[in-house]
Every structure is written in C-alpha cells, then in structure tokens.
Structure 1
Amino acid sequence: MRTNVVIDEELLKEAMKLTNAKTKKDVINLALKELVENLKRKNLADLKGKINFIEDYNYKLMREGK
C-alpha cells in the first residue's frame, strides 16, 4: 500500500544505520514487523498466572501415542 507520511529524518537515518537497511521502505517494514512482534509478546505476558499447567504432564508419552 502506498502512503505519504512525515517521518523524522534523523531518526530514520539512525534506524537505517543501526539496522543496515538499504532503503527507507526496508527500515519502516522492519520497524512495523518488530512492533507487531513486541505487542504479541506483551499479550502473551498478560497470560502469566492465568493458565493452569498439569504438573505431572509427560509429553514423551504423547509422542509415543500412549
């Protein structure tokens, strides 16, 4: 999708330098990808303490089909 946005040039240059991105498009896509991944990770962290695990669960038995 094409769009026009005003981006801080110094911030963009620094991001390109730190990531070794060749184009503005590359660094923006990388930034968006990392943003989404970080937010997904944060959502998983919200589940801490809300999931009950079976203490004696044996995954090896599941692999054997037992």
Structure 2
Amino acid sequence: MATNLSIDTGLLEEALSIGGLSTKKDTVNQALKEYVQRRKQKQVIDLFGNLPADE
C-alpha cells in the first residue's frame, strides 16, 4: 500500500544509520514491526499486574 507521510528527516536518517538497513522503506517497516512488538509486550506485562497473586 502506497502512503505519503511527513517524517522527521533527522530521525529517519538516524534510524537508517543505526538500523543497518539500506532503504527508507525497509527502515520504516522495521520500525513499525518493532513498535507493534513492543506494544504487544507491554500489553502482556500490564496483564500481569491485573492477575491475582498466589498466596
């Protein structure tokens, strides 16, 4: 899906530099994958706070 976005150029350049990927597209896609993964991990961690503790 083609999408036009206004992205912080400095942040994108830094991500390209440290991410080791060769294209902006790959860098943005990898960043989105990592974002989703971290959010899912946070949801699981937050669920642990809602479970009753074993006594």
Q: What is the TM-score with the length of structure 1 in the denominator?
A: 0.71
- Letter matched to residue 18 of structure 1: I
How many pairs align? 54
Q: Distance in 2 between matches of 1:11 and 1:47?
A: 32
Q: Could you tell me how far 1:8 is from its partner in structure 2?
A: 1.1
Q: 1:50 Cα shift?
A: 4.0
Q: Percent identity?
A: 46
The 4+ residue runs of structure 1 with deviation greater than 2 A are 49-52
The structure that has the greater radius of gyration is 1
Q: Distance in 2 between matches of 1:49 and 1:5?
A: 37
**Shift of residue 38, structure 1, vs aligned partner:** 0.3
Aligned to 1:36: 36
Cα distance in 2, alignment partners of residues 6 and 29 from structure 1: 15
TM score, norm. by length of structure 2 = 0.84
Q: Which residue of 1 aligns with 2:2?
A: 2
Q: Secondary structure at the match of 2:11?
A: helix
CA RMSD of aligned residues (A): 1.7
- Equivalent AA in structure 2 for residue 38 of structure 1: R
Greater RCO between the two (CA within 8 Å, min separation 6)?
2
